[in-house]
Structure 1
């Protein structure tokens, strides 16, 4: 584990060290993100190529670190008497109520119900953009020709609207968010050399959560205030639990708090996004649906890698490309952006390096969050009562028990993915995008 920590730390340092030249400036990976969503086709493609070039330049380092990690983890598993790393990986993730077979069943349902829906979303997007389907990664990143939704204000304005959202959502969330602001428990600005990503953690001595993020002027900034604060609210609600390990449930159960909270923010979207609120609601739901196939693919890839630790780096890239054909048929891998065309873009996903098998969690949780979204379309108060019933249990129950106790369906039931995909398709088909190009 000490060796593993050393290697994953090296990966984190490598990502944080990125200095990418672009249009006369130098940017970190996070700071480059706004250019990757630019409505100007040439500028957007140039940004994706610049990012890809940096990854390609360091490709041998990324491959070398992962190769060492895979063999090290395989050895760890065998040392403890397992077939390799997979079983140990599940135990280390705290999986206590579902198996590899359940995940395989979920993957099959994703391919059956979600991939076709996501595919139709990208086909419509290609039509709006005037592009030929399938599109490259740079064009897939632009949902509207007039540009992706952007926050109406700066970081201070987003936090101010976050305060309004939580104060009006419920008494509990109002008290919680004001304490986070008053006690300066959020570090959200993106600065040179700052570690990448965003997360919520707990400061045990203070019995309070802490949010770390990198605002960059995109819609992701609003999702940080809703997503990470969803985690933080759950921790806050359960801060007095004994034993302390009952504050947080398992990882996939935690992601339900955050991904669902994003959807509860929809009635306040006008305050966050102004004129772009309609764009945001569409792109947020569409993004949730198109994310599930990608996230499932990340998990499938890791199962292949740890079942076949002997694969070379080149063979791993080929496996990724094969999976992309199944889970991302809308992604054109023709070499226009070499990093993507070579099937190397899994290297951007830090979880693959630092938290093996921590990714299907997002897909399972997103599926549950879509249940909350469907409830919200009918009765917000009812949806919130289910959310609180789920959240108040903390980590005192397994994932499937938490769902059952809150009147929710487990994602491992095929009917769950079928139901949310049908509800989402009906909403998307009827959503009024008049005047938005």
Structure 2
């Protein structure tokens, strides 16, 4: 089935994304006379249609650039939007926000339907400043440099060139010398660009801090809590959450690390001993290439619910995947919603490992979310906070496990895969706490040096177990671990959401194990809401609590540990 864009009712079908084509539309929206609540709703839908077209145009520029970071033309196309289109839209969008909140017909709108939307518009107006437009443009362009630097990284192992993602497969090798050599080779390659990335990060911090000061905030952390619409928790809640993870999760992982050390017969665990299987068997290989990964994932989703499998099959038919790692491709993985088409694009860097399987089902969860919200009335209704978006993806990682037999030929490998996945679920929590606490420090201490930053990262990482390995004689590598986290460079403060959503996903999975039909129904119902309800109501619709208290962390960690113990 060919996926096509929804028919436009307001903007021209052949709208050119250039300022000459866009300006008249913004002018018309700004000048339009609105005489009733019905006309205000029509105005909102027309504005939404324009915004969806712009979002999709930007999406394709970003996708194409990240698929080939070495292509100068694609980089320029992305930069054109960032430098020529976005800065002009920003003040006009702010004017349209004012027009909306000042309309005497706002009170005629359905208050429940527009509560979340209106709240977000009012917050955007509060923090908007004209002088930040140029800074946002600079940030867009500078953040992209991270992709260019890291996308060019490759290493040679056994006379063959590999991307860092491809080379990481050697860190799972049963031969310890092979693992150590691969790990050190990758880290040495990262260290080559350490100074350039530090300089880039210093520039980003300076710009971000200025954005916050311009908007009347003491620091960028406090600004971002408002900009991200964190209405449901505070910075102090994040500190408390980190303390709960340190108290409840770190001891479990420390115990597991000790079991790993004993099973491998080692005096101490080094960083290159953390990924190898303790079974004494080679790393799991759930598929052989990108096409097989996509096909097996379609079969897996089909086994959960045929409607879900159909969505991935539609994506494959419409070339909405780029999954294999190659030189020049940006690192990481993402699901990018195409706002006008109502479908997503999945991007990742597969090296045929178990982690790639979990990445695919994770991004597949995001993809299902995109499809389920495609027909919501306003484009903004689809803009879910990350705590909801990541609930979609992380729940799918766990829900899908019951059907991972499509990736594995024998029960022993399937059992191993589930054990590794559940261990990773717990490992996610302290790493998220590390990155989140690191960002709190970075942006409340914006005058720090690169050396201060490295020292603080070490202290925070040590607090949460430092990966539960011995880093003796690896000081340079240890202090540079943070640079692999693209969120720090490209999407600041987007990380605590993974831990909040991970707890939610465990709760969804717990329900799924008790009553799969009901839990799946609740999960899909929650995703279908988009962002039309407050976050706690969306979690309630999913049959779970929006909660990250120490008691809840302890309860859910105990459940995961119990499930791990059942697997042997």
TM-score band (shorter)?
Answer: over 0.9
Matches within 5 A, 1:27-426: 27-133=162-268, 135-144=269-278, 145-275=280-410, 276-329=413-466, 330-336=468-474, 338-341=475-478, 343-426=479-562
- Quick one: structure 1 residues 401 and 339, their matched pair in 2 at CA, closer, same or farther if it must change by over 3 Å? farther
- Residue by residue over 1:283-325, the C-alpha shift from the partner in whole angstroms, topping out at 9 and shown as x without a partner, is 0001110121011110000101111112111111111111122
Deviation at 1:152, TM superposition (A): 4.3
Q: Which has the higher contact order (CA 8 A, sep 6+)?
A: 1
Distance 1:273 1:91 in 2: 45
- The more displaced of 378-387 and 345-354 is 378-387
- The more displaced of 225-234 and 162-171 is 162-171
- Quick one: structure 1 residues 171 and 155, their matched pair in 2 at CA, closer, same or farther if it must change by over 3 Å? same
SS at match of 1:200: strand
- Residue by residue over 1:156-175, the C-alpha shift from the partner in whole angstroms, topping out at 9 and shown as x without a partner, is 33222222222221243133
- Residue by residue over 1:349-378, the C-alpha shift from the partner in whole angstroms, topping out at 9 and shown as x without a partner, is 111111111111111111111112222333
User: Match of 2:8?
Assistant: none
Distance 1:220 1:141 in 2: 10
Deviation at 1:339, TM superposition (A): 3.8
Distance 1:126 1:17 in 2: 35
- The more displaced of 396-405 and 121-130 is 396-405
User: Match of 1:435?
Assistant: none
CA contact (8 A) 1:250 1:398 kept: no
- Quick one: structure 1 residues 142 and 94, their matched pair in 2 at CA, closer, same or farther if it must change by over 3 Å? farther
- Quick one: structure 1 residues 420 and 148, their matched pair in 2 at CA, closer, same or farther if it must change by over 3 Å? farther
Deviation at 1:219, TM superposition (A): 0.9
Deviation at 1:233, TM superposition (A): 0.3
Deviation at 1:423, TM superposition (A): 1.0
User: Match of 2:24?
Assistant: none
Distance 1:47 1:404 in 2: 45
- Residue by residue over 1:184-228, the C-alpha shift from the partner in whole angstroms, topping out at 9 and shown as x without a partner, is 211112222112211001222322111111211111221232111
Matched length: 429
CA contact (8 A) 1:249 1:398 kept: no
TM-score by length of 2: 0.73
Deviation at 1:83, TM superposition (A): 0.4
CA contact (8 A) 2:523 2:543 kept: no
CA contact (8 A) 1:11 1:62 kept: yes
Distance 2:533 2:362 in 1: 22
Distance 1:335 1:89 in 2: 37
- Quick one: structure 1 residues 106 and 52, their matched pair in 2 at CA, closer, same or farther if it must change by over 3 Å? same
Distance 2:481 2:518 in 1: 41
- Residue by residue over 1:237-268, the C-alpha shift from the partner in whole angstroms, topping out at 9 and shown as x without a partner, is 11011111112310121011011101111122
Distance 1:138 1:410 in 2: 36
Distance 1:268 1:49 in 2: 36
- Quick one: structure 1 residues 132 and 377, their matched pair in 2 at CA, closer, same or farther if it must change by over 3 Å? farther
Deviation at 1:64, TM superposition (A): 0.9
CA contact (8 A) 1:149 1:277 kept: no
- The more displaced of 275-284 and 84-93 is 84-93
Distance 2:488 2:418 in 1: 30
- The more displaced of 147-156 and 277-286 is 147-156
Specify which of 143, 148, 154 is matched with residue 19 of structure 1. 154
Deviation at 1:46, TM superposition (A): 0.8
- The more displaced of 153-162 and 2-11 is 153-162
Distance 2:283 2:224 in 1: 37
CA contact (8 A) 1:153 1:272 kept: no
Distance 1:170 1:427 in 2: 24
SS at match of 1:273: coil
- Unpaired runs of at least 5, structure 2: 1-135
CA contact (8 A) 1:324 1:331 kept: no
Distance 2:224 2:169 in 1: 35
